[in-house]
Amino acid sequence: MVSENLKAWYSRVPGCVAKRRARLVRHPSGGGGLFAWQVGVAAMYAEPPSPLARGIGPPGAGLSDEGAWARGVSPPLIRHAWRNQMGLGEREQTLVLIKPDALKVSLTGYILSQFSEFHTGLRFAGSKIVHVSRMIAEEHYAEHRGKGFYPSLIDYIMGRLHYPMEPEKRRVIALVYSGPDAIRKVRQITGPTNPHVARDNAPGTIRALGTVVPIKDAEGNVVGDRMDNLVHASANEADAEREVKLWFRPDEIMPYMRAYPTEVASKYYFYKDGQLLTQEEAGSVCLVAPGDLVWASDLDALENLLQGKPGPVTLESVAAKYLLNREGEPA
């Protein structure tokens, strides 16, 4: 039974799940008891997470449950802490790009405040300013390749349309947000793809502040349109995973926030003119060196490519993030 004092203590813990979890944290044998429970709760809310949480980690790693109980630690609560801190379970991640049109009209601060933890309960897991390469633009929008608006979409995300004469201003802000229901929450605040639809059906969303621009041919005839909709937001879990891994290396995301498996590389991988190499050549770029932390799926893809197997992803989708911000795109 939980004493009244303890109940009062737990009711002060943010979002107190402890009371509801009381039955879960008792060891089936009856061992552990309230001390283990308290240590578990403390570890659950520790910032950064308690080494105890890291000690147990995901299933299969670190301390065994028995070992944890023997040290007076509650494994169910620690595992809950681990999943929360690591961006797993009820945590999910989503990629946001603040596009060149938003930067041009100084909407960055507004957009960040719309997505702030105060409004959404989501937290930053990663952020950076990127001079968008053609390689990453084409990988990011691969699903639209061949469509009429594709060429202008690539020029748009690369900043070429909003800064035709000022390449130094061509950039996007790439962000990873993490938290429960992150994808849906961010999409809801972002609004519908078409800014005119957003204005009619979802006023107050970010994209309601965007615009639709006619695309004209050389004679000035309108041949299509372009949606300058200010932000990108991942549409679903599969897109979010692909996009977070496309734009960010694992070491650019806080360790406790990484949601996807990583591995440490044990050899070199170089890139040159669309080719993957394991030895340096004149003009090649080193993507990965031994000891580097990489997405496990990227390492699989690189090994498949070396063996000539058709990988689930292209070389460019792995390489693009390593080549970002190295040099400006040719005009």
Catalytic (active-site) positions: 232
DSSP secondary-structure letter at 20? Answer: T
Residue with smallest beta-carbon separation from Mg ion: 235
Q: Which does 315 bind (CB under 5 to 8 A by kind): Mg ion, ligand GDP, none?
A: none
- Binding residues among 187-206 for ligand GDP as defined by CB under 6 A: 193
Minimum CB separation of residue 204 from ligand GDP in Å reads 17
Tokens of 199: 């204005």
Judged by the rule CB under 5 A, the positions of this chain that interact with Mg ion are: 235
Q: Which of 9, 45, 149, 260 forms a contact with ligand GDP (CB under 6 A)?
A: 149
Residue 38 or 205: which CB sits closer to ligand GDP? 205
Residue with smallest beta-carbon separation from ligand GDP: 193
Residue 13 or 235: which CB sits closer to Mg ion? 235
Half-sphere exposure of 101 (CA within 13 A, CB side): 20
Find all residues with CB under 8 Å of 106, minimum gap 6, and list them.
Answer: none
Minimum CB separation of residue 211 from ligand GDP in Å reads 11
Smallest CA-to-CA distance from 249 within 325, 322, 176, 140 is with 322
How far apart (Å, rounded) are the C-alpha atoms in residues 265 and 254? 19
Pattern of binders to ligand GDP over 218-237, x per CB under 6 A? -------xxx-x--x--x--
Residue 144 or 309: which CB sits closer to ligand GDP? 144
**Are 215 and 223 contacting, i.e. CB atoms less than 8 angstroms apart?**
yes
Smallest CA-to-CA distance from 97 within 156, 169, 146 is with 156
Minimum CB separation of residue 226 from ligand GDP in Å reads 5
Minimum CB separation of residue 203 from ligand GDP in Å reads 17
Residue 86 or 233: which CB sits closer to ligand GDP? 233
Residue 137 found at the interface with ligand GDP (CB under 6 A): no
Residue 68 or 174: which CB sits closer to Mg ion? 174
Pattern of binders to ligand GDP over 49-88, x per CB under 6 A? ----------------------------------------
AA letter at 141: Y
3-state SS class at 309: coil
Tokens of 123: 């937290």
How far apart (Å, rounded) are the C-alpha atoms in residues 225 and 228? 10
Q: Which does 225 bind (CB under 5 to 8 A by kind): Mg ion, ligand GDP, none?
A: ligand GDP
Minimum CB separation of residue 199 from ligand GDP in Å reads 15
Q: How far apart are the first and last CA of the chain?
A: 71
How far apart (Å, rounded) are the C-alpha atoms in residues 278 and 207? 44
Q: b/e per residue, 252-291, with b = 16+ CB within 10 A?
A: bbbebbbbbebeebeebbbbeeeebbeeeeeebeebbeee
Summarize as ranges the residues that interact with ligand GDP (CB under 6 A). Answer: 144, 149, 153, 193, 225-227, 229, 232, 235
